[in-house]
Chains A and B, each alone.
Chain A
Amino acid sequence: MAPYLEQKYASTLFPLQYVANSKGYIQSALPASTERPTEWTRWVAKSRQGERVYQYTPTIEDPAEFGLAIVKWWNAMQPDFRHSDAGLPRPIYSTDTSTGKDWALLRRAGPNGLVSVLTLLAWWGQSLQSCTQWQEDSGQLWMDTISDVTKVINVLKAVSGGTKNKRKADTDPQIKESKR
């Protein structure tokens, strides 16, 4: 499903998510969870008392296939102007009409935010070190993905830096008096 369709029919397709958002709860998970590699879900399920077991990582038998799954999920969560038909998203990080709201779906913090993407990339990179000569080398794709992720994070940092909008102090003395 395209991201725009998911956002349009979110209340129908994801009722729990809809209810949570209607009450103003924080939605900290990255979108396009259906495209998310299953290794992540299985590994997260092994957590004990909120502590993720980093000493037991899943075994990646085919790094190339695992990398393609990560790239697909990464492409699915991107804004509309960065979507591509296959592979990595388009290397467009800003447009004339783009605002901070376009990056809102990627601006996810917390244990279920961008750390999941980086963890999957780490597994992919670790699996590349044990890759045999008979397996497809996906090292270049991994490097391109790392570069793209780093650029997106930097954009998010730039966008999120001014998100703490503070209310300006009332300079009009009449308004101050009326509030008092």
Chain B
Amino acid sequence: MHFPPPTSAHLPTDPNPGDSSMDELDKWLSENDFNLSSLNSESGQADFDFTFLNASDTSGGGGSSGTGLSFLPIDHTYRAPSLVAPPIIFDFDQARQNNLPASLPQVFTAAPLPLSNSTPALPHSYPTHVLFSPPPLITDNQTLSPAAPPHVFAPTPLAASGPTLNLPPITSESIHFPSLQSLSIQPPVTPASETLGTSTNTNHAKVVSDTTAAKSKKSIHKAPAGVGAATSGLLAQLTGTPASLLLVPDLPVSLPLGAPLSTVTSSATTSNQADAGRRSSRAIIPSKRNEQMAKIGSNPAGTGAKGVEKENIPPDSPPSWAISAKNFLLVRDLGEEWNLCVMAWSELEGILGYGTISGTKVRINIIPITVCG
């Protein structure tokens, strides 16, 4: 996966961060039909408090000038999962340390998506992690245009997305930001395993601790398994709510986000089949288990072969020993008289039945044993 180099972005800001910049942001939002007050139905005002964030070190680094928001190429940077979209680069550590005042709206790398009626509602099957898909990359010299603000909630084309979660459409009513203290985003958790078929890593919502979020932030580049944890950590830092209170569904490990659904389903189905395919791509050898099982209890063919041969022997034919003996006796020419002798013997054997006729037996008279003395 290719990660583009970190870039710095500049928003139209005022050199003196404070009310002027806030006014400028309000102006920009109003021009773009942004109504932040509509997000908070209770207080009727925007309660975005990003005091814990510091957009950048205004004094230096990254080649930025002024007080504008800049993204610095620092080693400890957060990168959004590359499987979703081009990575977002944001220095949370730096932001936490600097702790910019709340009046700085430049914390947004891009203006929030106007959640108005003009905004197309997200489909039901839109995954939750797409909510935090990174905005388009901003180069150093590129200035964000209020007319075309990057979309934080830019939807990813669903055709290329793999797992789909049945979620309600995200509209201005569905996203609720009551307050900073009681903010807890609980996305509707659907039984994703039913939709995804087989997944070793369940999609159930789990409570992510702060340490887990911190670890996942570092390991987000390696495995997509910590996307959910990283998301919860991101939410925790954005909202100031302890991450332990956030319920973020974890994403399956083995399912790439950009893979088509059909491919994911087929690969997940065949993963449990040991002999579904051979790595040599040769044809699968059919099993002979049933044939071997059918032979159990049956007599092997050829067991009675010798018996059949014995039964087929004519009764008057000489046995094997007689044939071999006669062949040996006649193998050498020992004279005519010898041949006559052998032929006479052969005839006598035939008369006597080759030793099987009782006429060849001789009974010896039983003599009682007497002990002398």
Please list the residues of chain A having a beta carbon within 8 angstroms of any beta carbon in chain B.
Answer: 7-12, 17-18, 21-22, 24-28, 50-52, 54, 104-105, 107-115, 118-119, 121-122, 125-126, 129, 143, 146-147, 149-150, 153-154, 156-157, 160-161, 163-164
Q: CB-CB < 8 A to B353: which residues of A?
A: 109
Taking a contact as CB atoms under 8 Å apart, the answer to whether A9 and B334 are in contact is no
Task: With A9-B367, A11-B367, A105-B362 as known contacts, state yes or no: A126 contacts B334, CB within 8 Å.
Answer: yes
Taking a contact as CB atoms under 8 Å apart, the answer to whether B369 and A11 are in contact is yes
Taking a contact as CB atoms under 8 Å apart, the answer to whether B364 and A122 are in contact is no
How many Cβ-Cβ contacts under 8 Å join chain A to chain B? 132
Taking a contact as CB atoms under 8 Å apart, the answer to whether B348 and A24 are in contact is no
Q: CB-CB < 8 A to B360: which residues of A?
A: 26, 28, 107-110, 113
Task: With A26-B360, A163-B359 as known contacts, state yes or no: A109 contacts B321, CB within 8 Å.
Answer: no
Q: Give which listed residue, B329, B337, B358, B367, contacts A119 with CB less than 8 A.
A: B329
- Min CB distance B76 to A, Å, is 87
Tell me if B120 is interfacial: C-beta within 8 Å of chain A: no
Task: With A107-B360, A109-B354, A157-B348 as known contacts, state yes or no: A115 contacts B325, CB within 8 Å.
Answer: yes
Interface size on B, residues (CB 8 A): 39
Q: Give which listed residue, B322, B337, B356, B363, contacts A150 with CB less than 8 A.
A: B337
Tell me if B310 is interfacial: C-beta within 8 Å of chain A: no
Q: CB-CB < 8 A to A150: which residues of B?
A: 337, 340-341, 344
Q: Give which listed residue, B324, B352, B358, B366, contacts A18 with CB less than 8 A.
A: B366
Task: With A7-B364, A26-B361, A119-B328 as known contacts, state yes or no: A111 contacts B321, CB within 8 Å.
Answer: yes
Cα distance, A11 to B369, chains bound together (Å): 8
Tell me if B338 is interfacial: C-beta within 8 Å of chain A: yes
Cα distance, A28 to B352, chains bound together (Å): 11
Per the 8 Å Cβ criterion, residues 333-352 of B in contact with A are: 334-335, 337-338, 340-342, 344-345, 347-349, 351-352
Cα distance, A61 to B342, chains bound together (Å): 24
Q: CB-CB < 8 A to B365: which residues of A?
A: 7
Q: CB-CB < 8 A to B342: which residues of A?
A: 118
- Can you name 23 A-B residue pairings with CB atoms under 8 Å? A7-B365, A12-B369, A17-B364, A21-B364, A52-B324, A54-B328, A104-B362, A105-B362, A107-B359, A108-B360, A109-B356, A110-B354, A110-B355, A114-B345, A114-B348, A119-B325, A119-B329, A122-B328, A122-B332, A126-B332, A150-B340, A153-B345, A160-B352
Cα distance, A160 to B344, chains bound together (Å): 13
Tell me if B294 is interfacial: C-beta within 8 Å of chain A: no
Taking a contact as CB atoms under 8 Å apart, the answer to whether B337 and A18 are in contact is no
Cα distance, A8 to B366, chains bound together (Å): 9
Chain B interface, DSSP helix/strand/loop, else mixed: helix
Taking a contact as CB atoms under 8 Å apart, the answer to whether B341 and A146 are in contact is yes
- Min CB distance A109 to B, Å, is 3
Taking a contact as CB atoms under 8 Å apart, the answer to whether A157 and B351 are in contact is yes
Q: Give which listed residue, A21, A51, A109, A121, contacts B357 with CB less than 8 A.
A: A109
Taking a contact as CB atoms under 8 Å apart, the answer to whether A147 and B355 are in contact is no
Cα distance, A153 to B352, chains bound together (Å): 12
Cα distance, A9 to B342, chains bound together (Å): 34
Across the interface, name the chain A residue whose C-beta is closest to B353. A109
Cα distance, A12 to B359, chains bound together (Å): 25
Cα distance, A113 to B348, chains bound together (Å): 11
- Min CB distance A84 to B, Å, is 20
Cα distance, A66 to B258, chains bound together (Å): 99
- Min CB distance B173 to A, Å, is 97
Cα distance, A112 to B341, chains bound together (Å): 18
Taking a contact as CB atoms under 8 Å apart, the answer to whether A26 and B358 are in contact is yes
- Min CB distance B16 to A, Å, is 114
- Min CB distance B318 to A, Å, is 11
Cα distance, A149 to B339, chains bound together (Å): 12
Across the interface, name the chain A residue whose C-beta is closest to B329. A122
Q: CB-CB < 8 A to A110: which residues of B?
A: 354-356, 360
Q: Give which listed residue, A18, A27, A51, contacts B361 with CB less than 8 A.
A: A27
Q: CB-CB < 8 A to B367: which residues of A?
A: 8-12
Taking a contact as CB atoms under 8 Å apart, the answer to whether B352 and A107 are in contact is yes
Cα distance, A177 to B351, chains bound together (Å): 36
- Min CB distance B367 to A, Å, is 5
Q: CB-CB < 8 A to A153: which residues of B?
A: 341, 344-345, 348
Cα distance, A50 to B334, chains bound together (Å): 27
Cα distance, A54 to B357, chains bound together (Å): 26
Task: With A12-B367, A153-B345 as known contacts, state yes or no: A122 contacts B334, CB within 8 Å.
Answer: yes
Cα distance, A27 to B320, chains bound together (Å): 21
